[in-house]
Amino acid sequence: MVESTHGKSIPDDTLLYLDSVTVSFDGFKALNDLSLLIRKGELRAMIGPNGAGKSTMMDVITGKTRPDEGKVLYRQADNSSADTDLTRFDEAAVANMGIGRKFQKPSVIESLTVWENLELALAGRRSPFATLFHRIDQTDEQKISDTLDLIHLAERRDDLGANLSHGQKQWLEIGMLLLQEPELLLVDEPAAGMTDEETFRTADLLREIARERSVVVVEHDMEFIRALDCRVTVLHEGHVLAEGSLDHVQNNQQVIDVYLGR
């Protein structure tokens, strides 16, 4: 049992705990005393109007932005005893602790092929010298081609990232996430610019993934959220407004006010 600053107790199967995090840019509070708890193997959807702080939250977790106050406690699978405070590490370190992130606008390496993109993401030693003499082996190749099938890009393996459609880029990026073999995936608006058909496939995929990993999805598309059918957190002005099942939050008066701007 770990005590949070609020004296609230944290369950043992916690994977990630944001402990009253505050971030401000030139006075404007992007995150305002935000506390959030993700359990192992949980699939969590986050919604909220623009500027609610969704992206900033991800920045804080992934070590891109240092919070002014608060901690981000992370409990790795291997040593469930000690919690690490992610705010003390940079992006690379956080990523190597098993937290993968997919950006809002798809960012794949455009001048590398699909295959190379995946190979790049492949879990493994990340130091320059390691990469210098790295030779890809059978199992890795297998992993990659499996992923290719999973994200339906098998036949485009040798095309440049630049030449993929928007949707395909999204998928490729998710594929890259998977190959990182993270414990926690932060997925920012995966369904953006996808056809309905793609959208549902994406939802399935994420549910699939969530079996052995924890996934946090930020999304506007309510249909997509419904398809995910999971616990939903509503962010507003940098702190949690409501939390619970989709129906629960949709009937929450505050939430309605915020969304309809009353």
Return residues touching other proteins (CB under 8 A).
25-26, 28, 30, 62, 64, 90-92, 95-96, 100-101, 103, 107-112, 116, 119-121, 126-128, 131-134, 136, 176, 180
Coil, strand, or helix at residue 13? coil
- What's the closest the beta carbon of residue 155 comes to other proteins, in angstroms? 21
CA angle, residues 34, 38, 79, in degrees to nearest 5: 115
Tell me 235's DSSP state: E
> Minimum Å distance from CB 52 to other proteins?
14
Whose Cβ is closer to other proteins: residue 174's or residue 230's? 174
The smaller minimum CB distance to other proteins, of residues 136 and 222, is found at: 136
The strand order across the sheet containing 28-39 reads 28-39, 14-25, 69-74, 84-85
CB of 36 or CB of 176, closer to other proteins: 176
**How near is the Cβ of 125 to other proteins at its closest, in Å?**
10
Give least dist CB 127 to other proteins, A.
Answer: 7
Nearer to other proteins, 26 or 197 (CB): 26
Burial class (CB within 10 angstroms; exposed 0-12, middle 13-18, buried 19+) of 26:
exposed
Paired tokens of 126: 């990340």
CA distance 45 to 228: 8
Q: Which is nearer to other proteins, 127 or 139 (CB)?
A: 127
| CA terminus-to-terminus distance, the chain | 41
Shortest distance, position 261 Cβ to other proteins, whole Å: 22
> Distances in Å between the alpha carbon of 8 and those of 1, 2, 154, 242, 247?
10, 9, 48, 18, 26
